């Protein structure tokens, strides 16, 4: 094998790579879409800035606190199952947000959103490591980061526009097809035969 490993196009053809990147994009993109518009939506619903800040604080706590044990969950239940749990939590966020505009709805939805982001993003990042050899790490991570954080930019930019033009419920509905696509991809990958690490 060459010093730089396989050509990037060969690595990117791997089903595991495609699913890992997709789930990373969906997990981070949906989180950015909903989180960015939440304070604006809350103020628009009559809540104060302090209420909005409190909800965001719980959201941020839910994003990062589980990192102490997410790796353990991946070891115990498998990375695909943890990512699926993350997608399920993102779906819970959408359902709770659509159920009402009370402070409890915002709080529970954003907490589920933070947890879902953690499981989806940490899981997708872990899954990505199964697709490359050490010599290929830098270029694979670079492509993954470009696509994932590109989705964050697009989601953040779209969030305010969707909220302003179509309303809070439409922000949630916008996330649904992406969550479904990630779940379908994960189930498809689970049904495929196992492939050795980095073997393509």
Q: In terms of pTM, does the model score above 0.75? A: yes
> N- to C-terminal Cα distance for the chain?
14
* Residues ≥6 apart with Cβ < 8 Å to 133: 1, 5, 6, 198
Note the pLDDT tens digit of each residue in 6-28: 889 999 999 999 999 999 999 99
What residues does each domain of the chain span?
Answer: 18-190
Percentage, residues of the chain above pLDDT 70: 94
Q: What is the pLDDT of residues 129-142, one digit of tens each?
A: 999 999 999 999 99
Q: Give pLDDT tens digits for 154-177.
A: 999 999 999 999 999 999 999 999
- Alpha helices for the chain (secondary structure H): 8-12, 15-44, 49-64, 67-77, 79-99, 103-128, 137-166, 168-191
What architecture (CATH level 2) is domain 18-190? Up-down Bundle (1.20)
């Amino acid at each position: 094998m060459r010093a730089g490993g396989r050509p990037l196009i060969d690595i990117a053809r791997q089903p595991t790579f495609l699913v890992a990147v997709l789930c990373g994009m969906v997990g981070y993109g949906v989180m950015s879409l909903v989180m960015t518009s939440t304070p604006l939506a809350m103020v628009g619903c009559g809540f104060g800035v302090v209420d909005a800040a409190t909800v965001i604080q719980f959201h941020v706590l839910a994003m990062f606190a589980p990192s102490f044990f997410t790796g353990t969950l991946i070891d115990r239940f498998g990375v695909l199952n943890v990512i699926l749990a993350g997608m399920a939590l993102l779906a819970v966020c959408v359902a709770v947000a659509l159920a009402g505009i009370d402070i409890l709805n915002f709080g529970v939805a954003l907490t589920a959103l933070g947890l879902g982001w953690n499981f989806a993003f940490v899981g997708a990042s872990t899954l990505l490591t199964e697709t490359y050899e050490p010599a290929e790490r830098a270029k694979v991570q670079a492509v993954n980061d470009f696509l994932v954080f590109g989705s964050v930019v697009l989601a953040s930019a779209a969030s305010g526009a969707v909220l302003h033009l179509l309303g809070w419920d439409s922000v949630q509905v916008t996330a649904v097809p992406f969550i479904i696509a990630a779940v379908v991809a994960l189930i498809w990958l689970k049904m495929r035969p196992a492939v050795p690490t980095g073997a393509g």
